[in-house]
Each structure stands twice: as C-alpha cells, then as structure tokens.
Amino acid sequence: MATSPNDKTLDGYTFRRYDDGDHTWDSMEEHIFQEDTSYKCPTYIQKTPPCQGSCPSGEDIRGWLQIVRGIEKPTGDMTMQEYAFRRSTTANPFPSMMGRVCPAPCEEGCNRNDVDDFVGINSVEQYIGDEAIALGLGFDDSAPTTGKRVAIIGGGVAGMAAAYQLRKMGHASTIFDDHAQLGGMARYGIPGYRVPRDKMDAEIKRITDMDGVEVKLNTRVGKDVSVESLEQDYDAILWALGCKKGRGLFVDNWNDVPNAITAVDFLEAFNLGDMKYTAPKVVCVGGGDTSIDVVSVSRRIGTLADYNEKGEDSATGVIKHDAEPTNKVPAEVTLTSLFPLDQMTAAEHEVQDALIEGVTILTEVMPTEILVDDNGRAVGLKVVESVMDGNVPKPKEGGKETIIEADLIVSAIGQFGDLDGVEEYGNDRNAIDADNFYQVPGKEGHFVAGDIVRPHLLTTAIGQASIAAETINHFLTQKDEKMDKRPKVDKHHFDLLDKLKEYELAPIAYDEGKEEDLRGTDSDNYAVHNYDDRSEHEIVESSELFLGHFEKVDRNKRTEDVPSKDDVLGHFVERMNALDEEQVVGEAERCMSCGLCFECDNCVIYCPQDAVFRVKKDQSTTGRYVDTNYDKCVGCHICADVCPTGYIEMGLGG
C-alpha cells in the first residue's frame, strides 16, 4: 500500500502506523465513510500517559512538564517555577528528594522510549524541587479546619505525606516518631551524598510549618504512649511505621555470628554520624538499592590501617566515632547478588557507579554458609553458583563454590516492621494488613500506608499515603456513606474543569443554559462539549500516537560525580549534578504529551474541510485548544491520524 502518514525514518528509527499489505480497516467502527454520510467526528479524549501510570505516587508528570516547557501557563504573576511546583506537589510533597533517589519507573514507562530515549523526568523534578527551596515556597494551609485530628505513627515520607494531604483537606494531625528527627528511612537509610540533608530538611520543614501539623519526636507508640490513649484523643489513627528491621541471611548460624548484621543497622549507624570507618573486609549480600548504599558507603568511609575493633560495634552504634581519623585506608568491599548484573533490582547506574568506585560484584551466587573462627566470629562467607526456581534460589548443579574473606557481613535482602508493643496490629509477616482503601481490616478508625504494608519505593509510600488520606477524610466527614470504588488508574489527574475555573472559563450551570431542544447545542456554555475524560480508566499506548511527528532529540543527561576506586575514600559530595534551566526546559520539550493536546496544530493544518479550528485565545486553555465545526466535518479521519498525542478519536458527532 502507499506510504502511511506515520512512516518516518530517522537514523535507523522507523515508525509505521500500518503494516505493508494493509488496505482495509479492521472493524466497521474504523471505516472511513464517504462525504457527509459518516456520523463520526473528532472527539477529544483525555487519557493517562504511561509515565503517570507507572508513577507509584501518581504525579501529574505530563502536567508539570507542560508547565516547564511553557505550554501550560499560570494566571497572574506566578512564575513557571512556582506553578510547576504547585502542580508537582499535588501528589508528591518531596520533589527535590524524589528527583534524586526515585529509580524512576515513570521513565521506564515513557512512550518516548519508542522514538529515541525516555524523557529525563527525574532531572526536571529535581529542578522543580530545588527551585522551590531556593524561592522559599511553602504549602497552602488556608483550608478551613474541620476540628478533626489524626494521629500519625511514623515520621517517614508516608507519615509526612499523609499529614500534608490531610491538612489540605482541613484536618489537623500529630506525627509520632521514635527518632530525634523526621525522615524515616529517607534520613536513616539513604546516605547524604544521594540526598543532601539541607534539601531533605527544607522539604520536611515545609510540611511541619503548616498550621495544624504537630510533631512529637523521641516518642514510641506502644511504649511512651499507648494506642488506647491515641484512640481517645484522636479521631483516626494512621500507621506509617515503615520497616526498620533488616532480614538476616538464610543460613544456619546467622543469629549466632556477632559480626553479621543487617543493612538497616549499618546505614543507620552511618547516617547518625556514629560510624566514621568500617572493617577492612566487608561483604554485603543483596543486589538492590540498599545493598548499593552499603557497599558505596563502605568504600567512602574506608577502614583504619591499624584496625583492631570488632566490625559490628561501630556498624551498630555500640562504638560512636566522634572524630574523623587520619590513618584511613580503603576497605575491601564485595557485593553478591542472586541475579545477573543487568537484572539486579538496584538502578542500573547505581550498579555501574559501584563498580567504578571499586566494589567487587559477584552475580548469580547464593550464600550457603558463614565460616567462623574459634571465637564464633565470621571470617568468610561461602557462596555457590545458583539458579532461580521461580522466586526461590537454588544451588546450580555442579556449581562453583567461592569463599569470600570477611570481617563484617551485611545482609541487605529485605526488611520488616518493628511492632514491639503493638503486636496485635501486625500479621505473620511483621507487617500490617490493608484493604484497597488502606483501612486496617477489623480495626475501625485505623488506617495504614507505606513500607509497613509492603516494603517498596519511597514514591510508593507517598502514593499510598495520599489514598489513605482520602479514605480518612471520608471516614471523618462521610462515615455513614459507602465509599466509591477506587479508579482503575488511581492517580492525581489533570482536571479540565479546574483549569477552566482557574481561567474563569467554567461552564455555567445547566439550568441557566438548557434549551427545550438539546440537538445542535454544541456551542452552548453549560457543558464542556466534544470532550471526554477517560484518564481514570485508560493509559495511552505509543501505538495510539502519531510517532512520525517527533524528531529524534538527544536526552539532556545529568552528570554524576562518581569517584574512581583510587579517589573514593572520603568522597561525600553529592553524586547527581542538576541540570540548568535551559537544559531542563529542553528536556521538558521532549515530552510527547501523551493523551492530551500540546498545541501542535496538525489537526488544524491537515483538515481538508477546515472543520477543525483553534479556540479563540480568550476562551482557550490546556485541553481546550481546538474544536470542530460539525457542519463542515465529513468524518475523514485525517485529524485523528496525524494527532501526535492520541488525543483525538473518531466518535459520534453532533
């Protein structure tokens, strides 16, 4: 057949809407009818882009990318930076932190991967977060208070995100945390060279500065304060404990070996500032991001030339190192993983960085035995080549055994909750059960979010906290009404009606504008005509886009300050370097705006009947840039074919 409008070849990239030999439509619904006998006209359908569909916290990523690139503009004198921050933090109150440490499933899902390379979403988010801190932007806490109070147990990102979302709804909260500072695993599990503490502190303070958000530190629920007293003093309770206990290796003598510890204890000792150096030979078992933090920290802090301590004492805070020693030397650090290098669960660039820093990585091996000396202390770890049988590792038949010398063995294979004092709320996994609304089953007034449900990403905890806050709001304000089913695509979506209200273009009330005859009323202003929001049900795929519209554009990549194995000792500067504003805008411009118009004018230019037209400037907003004159439209399908974003579908016309 003839070349299709979606054919395009650029440096080896080819996009075809139709395969060779195709010359008929697959279904009657897609037939192109002749002249004016078709009842199908362009309909504007908002869908969820796959970046947002892949984001555990459900951010309107497309929205704030459109703001940064200048397509969606704020009203009044608000800057682009503030407007992007306001949109971003609808879902995630920690853009500076998450722009640095989130492994970015959004980028993996990005439809731009089918053109050249994903949009660097994290780099733009980091810029938004850092600019907001530099500008001193705070959160809006002007919502009238309801008089309701929520006890939040745990001051990690889940607990703080919930406090933020609840305050936007008018509910006060008190965050109880058993540490001296808020932050949870983000503070006590992630090193400062990945998340600078000044950025973390600024984003936390923004939440605690909100009127109605109270914090009680060094307070453990179940010990310092009882659950019963919280039930009396508060209208609801949210469990956001996190998972602060590490899982040991599945070897017989794990519990008997003193210098075999968990990654949670190791990283907390480092992040508290108690551990300035480690043992000469460190072996970490894992393969995820936590294990990368352990080995990277070990290479940075090194050991002593005359080391004569017990490795576990400094790594668990028994010995607190106050001064920085001067006789440091590099530590010998090994990481073992069940998976091949390219299948490790840690972010790929983190794995490569660890190799550059001098970490030895053994892949596709499993630990079988901790070798001990006469005093019962570990001197080595025996591993064997392994294969995965489903989710269970098994020794490879005839697999090679290796003994890795070790003064300290660190397990980074998982975490679970610390439920001491509140055991009745836990399950047999040392976690807390949650239903689809993040209620604790059988415990009215109790809700749960974050790692204590199931350990996962920080952004997952933030997303769960947002849903839990909505559920708590329903419990506090509409308790007697049944909750609606959560949307299939459960995210923070762009709302066209909100946008129209922002520009004072909201439709008038139906009663004011209704007519006796509802036929041919597409110009009346009591509804948003010719538009359907399916974002709660559909994620737009690249096959729905006109990919031929997009030129190949190289990604604006952040540089990383990764030290070599010879320079890693004492290297604690921030790893990820930010993009400047010009680079950030350029990266945002690579966004294909999947599922929503980005004002390319293709449909206007290519319409042979001049039926598709731009909305008048004083009536136009994001999502309402083009419209259709039904009297001229003949249903020829061209506008839908050349729409780069999949925003136009042929539906029944007026």
Tens-digit pLDDT profile for residues 558-592: 999 999 999 999 999 999 999 999 999 999 999 99
Ranges 37-46, 59-68, 548-557: which has the least confidence = 37-46
Q: CA-to-CA distance for 406 and 408, rounded, in angstroms?
A: 5
**With bands split at pLDDT 50, 70 and 90, how would you rate the model's confidence at 320?**
confident
User: Quick one: CA torsion of 587, 590, 594, 600, rounded to 10 degrees?
Assistant: 130
Burial (CB < 10 A; 0-12, 13-18, 19+), residue 299, is buried
* Band of pLDDT at residue 3, cut at 50, 70 and 90: very low
Average pLDDT over all residues of the chain: 92
CATH topology of 140-244+417-477 equal to that of 253-413? yes
- pLDDT at site 35: 46
Of the listed ranges 50-54, 245-249, 519-523, 600-604, the one predicted with least confidence: 519-523
CATH number (2.60.40.1180, 3.50.50.60, 3.40.50.720, 3.30.420.40) of 253-413 reads: 3.50.50.60
Q: What pLDDT is recorded for position 15?
A: 61
- DSSP readout, 506-534? PPPPHHHH--S--TT-TT-SSS-TTEEE-
Supply the CATH classification number for the domain 140-244+417-477.
3.50.50.60
At residue 530, the pLDDT reads 83
Q: What is the pLDDT of residue 1?
A: 38
pLDDT exceeds 60 at position 547: yes
**What is the residue type of 142?**
S
- Residue for token pair 């399908």: 637
Q: What is the dihedral of CA 248, 254, 256, 261, to 10 degrees?
A: -50
pLDDT reading at 608 higher than 80: yes
Q: Please say if the pLDDT value at position 30 is more than 60.
A: no
Residue 507 has pLDDT above 60, yes or no: yes
Question: Residue 510: how many CB atoms within 10 A of its CB?
Answer: 10
pTM of the predicted model, to two decimals? 0.92
The pLDDT tens digits for 221-241 are 999 999 999 999 999 999 999
> What pLDDT is recorded for position 319?
86
Q: Please give the average per-residue pLDDT across 344-350, as a whole number.
A: 91
Written as one string, the DSSP assignment of 191-242 is: -TTTS-HHHHHHHHHHHHTSTTEEEE-S--BTTTB-HHHHHHH-SEEEE---
Q: What is the pLDDT of residues 349-363, one digit of tens each?
A: 899 999 999 999 999
Higher pLDDT, 653 or 147: 147
Section 79-103 average pLDDT: 97
Q: Would you state the pLDDT for residue 536?
A: 96
Span 456-462, average pLDDT: 96
What confidence score (pLDDT) does residue 515 get? 61
In the chain, what are the domain boundaries? Answer: 8-60+497-652, 140-244+417-477, 253-413
Kindly report, residue by residue over 272-310, the tens digit of the pLDDT: 999 999 999 999 999 999 999 999 999 999 999 999 999
Q: What percent of the chain has pLDDT over 90?
A: 83
Measured CA to CA, the distance from residue 152 to residue 240 in angstroms comes to 7
